[in-house]
Amino acid sequence: MGIKRRARAPGTARARSFNANEREPALEHNGRESIGSPHTRRAFLGYGSRMGLAATGLSSGALWRAAAAAGALVHPPNSLPNPKVPAGTVNEAMPFDHLIVIMMENHSFDNALGALAHSGQPKAQGLKFSSKGVALNSNPGPTGTVRSFPFATTAQGTHVSQDWNATHAQVDGGKMDGFVRSVENDQPMGYWTPQVLPFVYSIASTFCVANRWFGSAPCQTYPNRRFLMAGTAYGNIATNTESLKDPPPPNGTIWDRLHAYGVSWKNYFTDLPSTAIIPSTIEKYPTNIASIAEFYADCATGNLPSVSLVDPEFGVAGIVGSSLATVPALASIAEKLETTGGDEENPQDMSYGEYWAYQTVKAILSSPAWPRTLLIYTYDEHGGYYDHVPPPVALEPDSISPVLGPGDVPGKYNIYGPRVPAVVASPYSKPNAVTNAVHDHTSFLATVEAKWNLPRLTYRDANARTVMDFLEPGNAAFMNPPTLAEPPASIKALTTR
């Protein structure tokens, strides 16, 4: 089936529109607010804190009771953001026609942006520093206290872990003191400065950056990317080949929703498409999988689809890419690859991923479609690197519990993973700003669903915030796109473009 497009603009959905005078879809239509709204979210989390509900032990039932006590409504799966208009109706109050998400790999907020408060964004909640510029955050180690320290280069070691057990040990019930102990090494306490990673600091200080964007689950890449695409990890806690044999998520993916309502989308990939983490996606929609070269061409012409997922180079030598390369539908691609990776996962050198991201974001900013484009730039999980903010409680997406082995820490999908960097770039982004609202990867789903009034997938995305708090719809401060800091091009980047 061909991709349906509206005649008025390339890549936007062929659907009825509603305007800003209609009730905001983030609110319930009986006058009560949802838990995704700023006031009731604070009341809800405050209630949980006062009642002493531990993040790691809070049941779904307890969370619902807390929500009810806070006066919030819990939206169910398959509900519409705006039930007053048909599904597939475009929300014209949201100032974009093209939504792009770039998800890099494996870095916490404090690790990638820990010095941001001293590097162009004073409201950033990163590491604490002394008057002499020395980071004060610390974790206990085998031989004493280990303080946060700056990495001098873009090189990464191998001594970090973000698996289920390690992440729970790192969070340690909210103490955030188990990072060094989890690997018996000080690497998790390292952070990068703007002198070493100029691009990520530049985009974060130029546009609006999230102070509280968390991984969707306290574990590895595949489950977190399942949340990005389906609003649930439906049992998975690990990045491995075995998980690729799982059936599709019970209520489908966002790609299924977009296809069903004629909203155009593509997964552009550098070496392997991340939609293959749910293999049925590439089996059902092979024409929606496109190369990064096609993305650059579509940016140049302004012919972008409504929704784009743009993937860096995962690398067949890395844990993410090596598993994806086993998906049968990718055999013709994988057999030709010798890629080592440029998604910034350890132990990759950060320089290649940083330069790839700069070039890709530059293509978006230079596109004729920029005036109606919104970019979410984020990371899938913390990679085992230190972050000082305890992950809050989370609404369980469905009734499917994590599939745990005999040696795994007991737990559910009722807590977020540690914080990750997240920036929203748009002509309408709040300039040099922060948002302190709680977000996770299902905010991408919530934004897509609100824009095109699509049936929600799970309880998690149904009650997640959109990214509208990053924007000022009446103020196009970046209609003329800004110039972001260009990082040094690695030798690999220079020889592969």
> Tens-of-pLDDT digits for all 497 residues of the chain?
333 333 333 333 333 333 333 333 333 333 333 444 433 444 344 433 433 343 434 455 555 665 655 567 899 999 999 999 999 999 999 999 999 999 999 999 999 999 999 999 999 999 999 999 999 999 999 999 999 999 999 999 999 999 999 999 999 999 999 999 999 999 999 999 999 999 999 999 999 999 999 999 999 999 999 999 999 999 999 999 899 999 999 999 999 999 999 999 999 999 889 999 999 999 999 999 999 999 999 999 999 999 999 999 876 556 555 565 666 765 665 555 555 567 778 888 899 999 999 999 999 999 999 999 999 999 999 999 999 999 999 999 999 999 999 999 999 999 999 999 999 999 999 999 999 999 999 999 999 999 999 999 999 999 999 999 999 999 999 999 999 999 988 655 444 44
Q: H or E stretch including 373? A: strand 373-379
**CB 261, CB 454: distance < 8 Å:** yes
Please return the burial class of 215, using the count of CB atoms within 10 Å of its CB with bins 0-12, 13-18 and 19+: buried
Compute the distance between CA of residue 495 and CA of residue 490 in angstroms, rounded to an integer. 9
Are 379 and 106 contacting, i.e. CB atoms less than 8 angstroms apart? yes
Tokens of 494: 């220079």
pTM score, two decimals? Answer: 0.86
Among the listed residues 74, 68, 67, the one whose alpha carbon sits nearest the alpha carbon of residue 45: 67
**Where do the DSSP E strands lie in 64-163?**
90-91, 98-104, 138-141, 144-147, 149-150
DSSP H helices, 114-273, are 164-171, 179-183, 198-206, 221-230, 254-260
Concatenated DSSP letters for 292-333? HHHHHHHHHHT---SEEEE-----TTSHHHHHHTT-GGGHHH
CA distance 126 to 194: 13
Contact 425, 378 (CB under 8 A): no
DSSP β-ladder status, 265-269 and 190-191: unpaired
